[in-house]
Amino acid sequence: MPLLEMKDVYLHFGGIMALNGVSFGVRKGEIFAIIGPNGAGKTSIFNCISGLYHPDRGKIIFKKKEINKLSPHRRAQLGLARSFQNIELFKGMTVIDNLMLGRHIHMRTDLITGGIFFGKARREEVRHREVVEEIIDFLEIQNIRKKPVGTLAYGLQKRVELGRALALDPNVLLLDEPMAGMNAEETEDMARFILDINEERDVTIVLIEHDMGVVMDISDRICALDFGVKISEGRPDEIQSDPKVISAYLGGEEVV
């Protein structure tokens, strides 16, 4: 059984069909990539899964439970986390404070005890800070932990956003173009972190990415879209030789 599944999902905006009967299943423990030209519907899939959009038809199933009607925060509580194509961090806050926000769904302290910050509230804060500090060590950002996010280089901000998503303790992590705008060294680092998250932390990854070299190197399976329609699904070697994918996205040449 897939851990995450889309079944015959349709989504339209006025006369534009963003998703046209898209179906796929993501297995536990794999890195599943979604590719396609700009406007193919990739981010619309993420927005449907995370609850920002509600499909016109079809089902989204996570952990054998239909989640179409659940709010975004309930989906996060179930174990879905995501990053965004455009960085969505609080620029005036420090790295550690941004990551602590990712722990919010796990906090049980109410407003009054949290404001007093004594006893139970203090102990809970310490526990969550320990989790965040471990993520900071994992992502190798110890030296920037107390710096305001807005002062950091773009590549480091992307790493912080990845850390905030990890702070939710997700079962499935949705990464929307995590390498966009990065240089070769930053891209290599991000690919390494994604592999480590998948293998060492046992997190299933769903990835949208335009860097075909990265996609082919780290993905277990790939789903290709074009104009909101799924045109192919399979292993990287199958996708890179599929004529429909080559015609729609890869410029008429196979990826080597």
Structural domain boundaries of the chain? 1-79+171-256, 86-169
pLDDT in tens, the chain (256 residues): 899 999 999 999 988 899 999 999 999 999 999 999 888 999 999 999 999 999 999 999 999 999 999 999 999 999 999 998 778 888 999 999 999 888 887 766 655 454 555 556 667 778 888 899 999 999 999 999 999 999 999 999 999 999 999 999 999 999 999 998 899 999 999 999 999 999 999 999 999 998 889 999 999 999 999 999 999 999 999 998 899 988 876 555 444 4
232, β-bridge pairs: 224
- Cβ contact 209:181 at 8 Å: no
Q: What's the half-sphere exposure (Cβ side, CA atoms, 13 Å) at 141?
A: 32
| Token pair listed for 163 | 């850390």
**Cβ contacts of residue 148 below 8 Å, gap of 6+?**
91, 92, 93, 94
Looking at domain 1-79+171-256, its CATH architecture is 3-Layer(aba) Sandwich (3.40)
- State pTM to two decimals: 0.88
